[in-house]
Amino acid sequence: MKTLKRFVLVGAPASGKGTQSSFLSETYDLKPLSTGALLRAEVAAGSELGLEAKKYMDAAQFVPDDVVNGIVTQWLGSNRNCGCLLDGYPRTVAQAQTLDANLAELGLAVDIVVYLNVSPELIEARMLRRKACPKCGETTRNGEELCPKCGTPMIVRTDDNPEAFAKRRRDYETLTLPVVEHYREQGKVVQIDVVEEGEPETVSARIEAAIKAYAEA
């Protein structure tokens, strides 16, 4: 039976990763790591890394890898006895390699990578079912023709800028999917293929079964 402490969750934008992230945190008692929140906390604390990060955040630029890696390593070191969930990090193979090396120095490692592989067709269909009411602002996810609150015909939600979404999708494919392959080589990936729409609870149950099988293997 493997002891699983450090989880990484990987999934495309709009794959339902947020829901499964909450499920994993609750089920396995994991502390979620948010690089955004960590960066803001370091900035607020005025630490050396925080001051470095602030320069980039003030200029609305990406905080460079070495600063993010430093903050994450510090966090993982001070939470070494807790279960944790890394979601949105590592975002690139370079980050994964640094993470592995930094964890190894602490005598730790990533224990499991949960890869939520939702088909692009399914994600696209989901986006089209995200509707908004032009009159009262009610939003829904199930493609409702009429607003459940005021009966006005609904329109497809446009709060997701299509170009920005396409860019996030491309970045995910070119930068983050190789992270899955990086950990697959280490035999640490549990892959959940989702090709048909269903309840999030069904996906959660499949994730739980796959993690159990992985831990017992």
- 157 annotated active-site: yes
- 17 annotated active-site: yes
Helix, strand, coil percentages (3-state) for the chain, rounded to 5, are 50, 15, 30
Spell out the alpha helix ranges (H) of 62-119.
65-78, 93-105
Lay out the site mask for Zn ion across 37-66 (x = CB under 5 A, - = otherwise): ------------------------------
Active site residue: 80, 126, 129, 168, which one? 168
- By C-beta, is 55 or 135 nearer to Zn ion? 135
> How far is it, in rounded angstroms, from Cα 213 to Cα 184?
16
> How far is it, in rounded angstroms, from Cα 150 to Cα 153?
9
Of 76, 64, 90, the closest CA to residue 178 belongs to 90
Residues 133-192 that bind Zn ion (CB under 5 A): 133, 135-136, 138, 147, 149-150, 152
Active site residue: 6, 91, 131, 188, which one? 91
- By C-beta, is 120 or 134 nearer to Zn ion? 134
- By C-beta, is 45 or 150 nearer to Zn ion? 150
Active site residue: 6, 54, 130, 131, which one? 130
Tokens of 147: 């607003």
Give me the least distance between CB of 162 and Zn ion, in Å please: 23
Using alpha carbons only, give the angle 13, 28, 174 rounded to the nearest 5 degrees: 25
Catalytic residue annotation: 17, 91, 130, 157, 168
Residues at the site binding Zn ion, with contacts judged by CB under 5 A: 133, 135-136, 138, 147, 149-150, 152
